[in-house]
Amino acid sequence: MKLYDFKMAPNPRRAVMFMAEKGLDIPRVSVDLGSRAQLKEDYARVNPMQQVPALELDDGTVITESVAICQYLEELHPEPNLMGRTPLERAQVTMWERRMEQQGLMAVSEAFRNDNPFFEGRSLSGPVDLDQIPALAERGRKRFSHFMRQLDGFLADRPYVAGDRFTFADITGFIVIDFARVIKMRPPEELANLTRWYAEIGSRPSAKA
Amino acid sequence: MKLYDFKMAPNPRRAVMFMAEKGLDIPRVSVDLGSRAQLKEDYARVNPMQQVPALELDDGTVITESVAICQYLEELHPEPNLMGRTPLERAQVTMWERRMEQQGLMAVSEAFRNDNPFFEGRSLSGPVDLDQIPALAERGRKRFSHFMRQLDGFLADRPYVAGDRFTFADITGFIVIDFARVIKMRPPEELANLTRWYAEIGSRPSAKA
């Protein structure tokens, strides 16, 4: 088994942090997004969507999409549990994880990719070249600002994103807040719940994996 | 148990078609998106993300996000299986379902919501008012056109999106193609694999649920 990743990209980091929490030592192959290696034929054979991460199994089968990769690893290595122990808890972790992704990660990504010169003509990852849209960068910043305030509210009455214990939803949430460095947006100090939670998750060894 | 939905919206339709495939008759409460009922206080108490669908359990617990709702129903009612029978198959269904959503549904939604006058100031669902961005409508159409060609290619060597049987990935894929009526984009006849698959899924009783 090996994981194709790139250390600066948030989606592979979800899988890498997940693996570290599980204590899994899966070999990693860096796909250099800096030189657009993900768009070259070699990698397009691994993942036709030309995105990282991708998990290649020993028989050559490839699983892409960080959520699918983590789900697979959770089933193979159930402990420590990160995705829920009952049908209801599993649904709640999925729900919260998706909120982190849809409201948070998508916002930061649209702010970053529509503003940074490196992404000229590449405003989305994947196989289609798309022009940057400056208004979309602005929209992303507005959304992310709201996301941080909303997440702070959710964290007012519970220690972790999905409830009373650390789950995959915290992994995605933490990576989103951390990734927002690229658009120079940091959690404002007055968001005390968010600040407390962000520091706590950041102190886990998996945050440095 | 009851499902908050709205019949013209694609995300609740994923849950409704899924329920129909399972033979589940769960009461549905229509949230009138036409009059913006999802933004009013009553519904914001059900789902703070102000989106449909939401599944309310008998004890008042609410699960939102169509994927989380379907995952929950799959675990409670395992047959007919729609999300995979083994860890690998489950990961593959998740992977393909996400591709349908990320590459397909997001593209149609950005084309629709950034162009249609009804969505002025509401270019995304959820709690933040966001201006329409005409360039994003154009980008959505370009992405969706590519999505249809790519999906046609994937369907060249297999009958269904995730492999040799009908799964949740077909539900999302079908709903995406169907929903593209709102931006007046239909599968071109020359995409024979896509056309064959779309007609077949559309003939299932669940497509009319």
Indicate which CATH number applies to the domain containing A22. 3.40.30.10
Over residues B37-54, the mean pLDDT reads 92
Between B76, B130, B135, which is nearest A87 by CB? B76
User: Over 90: is that where the pLDDT of A127 sits?
Assistant: no
Note whether B71 contacts A: Cβ–Cβ < 8 A: yes
Residue ending a domain, choose from B44, B76, B108:
B76
Q: How far is CA A141 from CA A110, A130, B138, in A?
A: 8, 20, 21
Specify the pairing of strand A2-5 against strand A54-56: antiparallel
Q: For the segment A137-186, what is each residue's pLDDT rounded down to a tens digit?
A: 999 999 999 999 999 999 999 999 999 999 999 999 999 999 999 999 99
Question: How far from chain centre, in Å, is Cα B55?
Answer: 15
Note whether B62 contacts A: Cβ–Cβ < 8 A: no
Give the amino acid at A90: R
Domain count within chain A: 2
Residue ending a domain, choose from B34, B50, B76:
B76
Residue ending a domain, choose from B56, B76, B96:
B76
For the purposes of burial, counting CB atoms within 10 Å of the CB of A27, is it exposed (0-12), middle (13-18) or buried (19 or more)?
exposed
User: Over 90: is that where the pLDDT of A6 sits?
Assistant: yes
What pTM, to 2 d.p., does this model score? 0.97
Q: How far is CA A179 from CA A7, A105, A193, B111, in A?
A: 11, 8, 19, 27
Provide the shortest C-alpha distance from residue A207 to chain B (in Å).
24
Quick one: closest CA in A to B146, which residue?
A128
Interface test with A, best of B58, B65, B101 (most A CBs within 10 A): B65
Q: Which domain holds residue B111?
A: 87-208
A135 and A104 inside one domain = yes
**Could you check whether the bond before residue A53 is cis, i.e. omega within 30 degrees of 0?**
yes
How large a percentage of chain B has pLDDT more than 70? 100
Would you say residue B82 lies in a domain? no
Q: Alpha-carbon distance B93 to B113, whole Å? A: 28
B42 and B118 inside one domain = no
Residues in A touching B48 (Cβ below 8 Å): 150
Would you say residue A62 lies in a domain? yes
A106 and A28 inside one domain = no
Q: For the segment B179-194, what is each residue's pLDDT rounded down to a tens digit?
A: 999 999 999 999 999 9
A26 and A114 inside one domain = no
User: Over 90: is that where the pLDDT of A136 sits?
Assistant: yes
Q: For the segment B135-184, what is each residue's pLDDT rounded down to a tens digit?
A: 999 999 999 999 999 999 999 999 999 999 999 999 999 999 999 999 99
User: Over 90: is that where the pLDDT of A126 sits?
Assistant: no
Evaluate whether B178 touches B103 at the Cβ level (below 8 Å).
Answer: no
Q: For the segment A11-56, what is each residue's pLDDT rounded down to a tens digit?
A: 999 999 999 999 999 999 999 998 999 999 999 999 989 999 999 9
Note whether B67 contacts A: Cβ–Cβ < 8 A: yes
For residue A135, what is the enclosing H or E element? helix A134-154
Quick one: closest CA in A to B136, which residue?
A133
Indicate which CATH number applies to the domain containing B120. 1.20.1050.10
User: Over 90: is that where the pLDDT of A86 sits?
Assistant: yes
Residues in A touching B130 (Cβ below 8 Å): 139, 142-143
A148 and A183 inside one domain = yes
DSSP lists the bridge partners of residue A88 as none
Would you say residue A81 lies in a domain? no
